[in-house]
Copies of this chain bind each other. A is one copy, B any other.
Amino acid sequence: MGTVPLLTDDEISPEARAVFDEIRAVRKTDFINNFWRALAHDPALLRATWDRLKVVMAPGALDPLVKEMLYVAVSAANSCSYCVHSHTASAKARGMTDEMYAELLAVVGMASQTNAIVTALQVEVDDAFLA
């Protein structure tokens, strides 16, 4: 259904294979989801995306579950169907409970509602909010 065929393990270059190997090792699973199989057409983009994703989503001042929920929120706002599915699955795998998911949905909905109303009203920013 995509604009490029999804590549199987047999069809990828050695550079792409090296990234797949890392993904499998880091995630402790043989499963490679379709995003990476589509990116494998361009090993350089695959490598850059994976290398950056590893850094950005690693534990830090925010824990990985919070990061996955932020990813879901942005993906929903950007209407990326694939990304909503994959990062919701990741968030669940990292421990997002039904209650947390319900609150995430409520915040995403509330923010989208007030975003639209504020934009329609063109409310000017309070001086108190400026850095």
Identify the A interface with B (CB < 8 A): 1-6, 31, 33-35, 38-39, 41-42, 44-45, 48-49, 52-53, 55-57, 60-62, 66-67, 69-89, 97-100, 102-126, 128-131
Contacts and interface: CB of A to CB of B under 8 A. Distances in A.
Contacts of A130: 1-2, 85
A43 B121 CA distance: 15
A51 to B, nearest CB: 10
A102 B41 contact: yes
A83 B41 contact: no
Nearest 4 A-B pairs (CB), nearest first? A77-B77, A112-B116, A61-B99, A113-B113
Contacts of A41: 98, 102
A115 B41 CA distance: 18
A78 B117 CA distance: 12
A75 B2 contact: no
Nearest to A48: B52
Contact of A117 (B55, B72, B89, B109): B109
A87 B108 CA distance: 13
